[in-house]
Copies of this chain bind each other. A is one copy, B any other.
Amino acid sequence: MTSITHENLPELVTRELSNKIIRNELKPGERIFEAKIAQELGVSRSPVREALRILERNRLVEMIPRKGVRVTKITAQHIKWFYDIFEALYGLVARKAAENADSEDIGNMSVALKKIENAAEKGDIESYFINIFEYASVGMKAARNPLLEQLIIELWPSSRRIQFSSLLFRADDLKKNVTYFQRCSKYVEQGNALMAEKVIQEYARNEEAFALKIVNGDKK
């Protein structure tokens, strides 16, 4: 163990495995062996087991008792299931944000929005992806439902995984996507809960369509 850090091992292992799965270095359906991971990262199996429980919650792996752990698959079906939930939960966030945001929240959202706009302008996809999560984050703060926030954050790794494959192919429609966030911010400022929710739902369907195009092999 070379680690000098103060952070705990399960989180470290989680992050490491999480990245490998999101980047598709660990393939869907692939088996994960506790001992192998433990050895690779220079820790014992205990923190690995903890990490696997966390990854299970993130829907990145599936644990079957006495049968082991596998990386979850992502088929077109999975993507539809995921975005139906995405639509419902983020729709709720937008609605609640429109109802509850104070001037500070609105300020934060506007800052986050600017970062998205800049990234889109420059075509910086990496920065764009970081900042849409930042935008979601301040939006969730404004919605004032920590339980909802938790649920969504636990699904973020799945979001990232689905979006990762798109990452390389979508430089073109980045600017179109920005308009969703701009409209959302506008409605939140106006306190128009109904429209804020609608815009985000539209955005979700758009993301879904894009993700489906990718898995269906219409890529490039």
User: Which residues on A are within 8 Å of B, measured CB to CB?
Assistant: 8, 46, 49-50, 53-54, 57, 59, 65-66, 78, 81-82, 84-85, 88-89, 91-92, 96, 145-148, 151
The CA of A66 and the CA of B50, in the complex, are separated in Å by 14
A147 and B49 contact, CB distance less than 8 A = no
Residues of B within 8 Å of A81, CB to CB, are 145-148
> When chains A and B are docked, how far (Å) is the Cα of A89 from the Cα of B82?
12
Asked whether B92 lies within 8 Å of A148 as measured between CB atoms, the reply is no
**23 chain-A/chain-B pairs, Cβ below 8 angstroms:** A8-B66, A46-B46, A49-B50, A50-B53, A53-B54, A57-B57, A59-B147, A78-B147, A81-B145, A81-B146, A81-B147, A81-B148, A82-B147, A84-B92, A84-B145, A85-B89, A85-B92, A85-B145, A85-B151, A88-B89, A88-B91, A88-B92, A151-B151
How far is A218 from B146 in the complex, measured between Cα atoms in Å? 26
CB neighbours (8 Å) of A89 from chain B are 85, 88
CB distance from A89 to the nearest CB of B (A): 7
Report the Cα distance A82→B59, complex, angstroms.
21
A49 to B78, CA, bound (A): 30
Contacts of A53 in B (CB 8 A): 50, 53-54
- By a CB distance below 8 angstroms, the chain B residues around A50 are 49, 53
Alpha-carbon distance between A12 and B72 when the two chains are bound, in angstroms: 26
Q: Check if A85 sits within 8 Å of B8, measured CB to CB.
A: no
Nearest residue, chain B, Cβ from A96: B84
Which single member of B54, B85, B91, B96 contacts A148 (CB below 8 Å)?
Answer: B85
Task: Please report the C-alpha to C-alpha distance between residue A8 and residue B65 in the assembled complex, in whole angstroms.
Answer: 8
A8-B66, A81-B145, A84-B92 are known; give 14 further A-B pairs, CB within 8 A: A53-B54, A78-B147, A81-B146, A81-B148, A82-B147, A84-B96, A84-B148, A85-B89, A85-B92, A85-B145, A85-B147, A85-B148, A88-B89, A151-B151
